[in-house]
Amino acid sequence: MEEILFSPSLLLLFDIPLPPETIFILIPITAMLMVVAIVAIVYWHRSRERELQAHREMRIREQEMRIREMEHQRKMKELELEIEKAKASQRVAIG
């Protein structure tokens, strides 16, 4: 049979003789800590998902704003061209 290798820290933990009273205290404490850790991880994951969703929505809004700005600039250029054409036609009519 092969020998199973453990890290030295695990071997030290299991070599320490603990009184039974300590074990009865440690087991519930570690179980509670495990539950707290799981709840914390789940909460962190949910908050991270919300944060990523907010960033996605923000990027979509920014893209929409850029599109609106580009459309606005195009309309302004069209209006400027129309104004120039109107001025040129007035000059031709007057002059």
d(CA 62, CA 67): 9
Per residue in 15-24, pLDDT (tens digit) is: 667 777 887 8
Secondary structure of residue 15 in the 3-state scheme: helix
Per residue in 52-94, pLDDT (tens digit) is: 999 999 999 999 999 999 999 999 999 999 999 999 888 888 8
Report the predicted TM-score, pTM, of the whole model to 2 decimal places.
0.53
Helix, strand, coil share (%) of the chain residues, nearest 5: 85, 0, 15
Residue 1: pLDDT over 70: no
Structure tokens that stand for 20 in this block: 């039974």
What's the whole-number mean pLDDT along residues 1-25?
65
26 Cβ partners below 8 Å, 6+ apart? 18
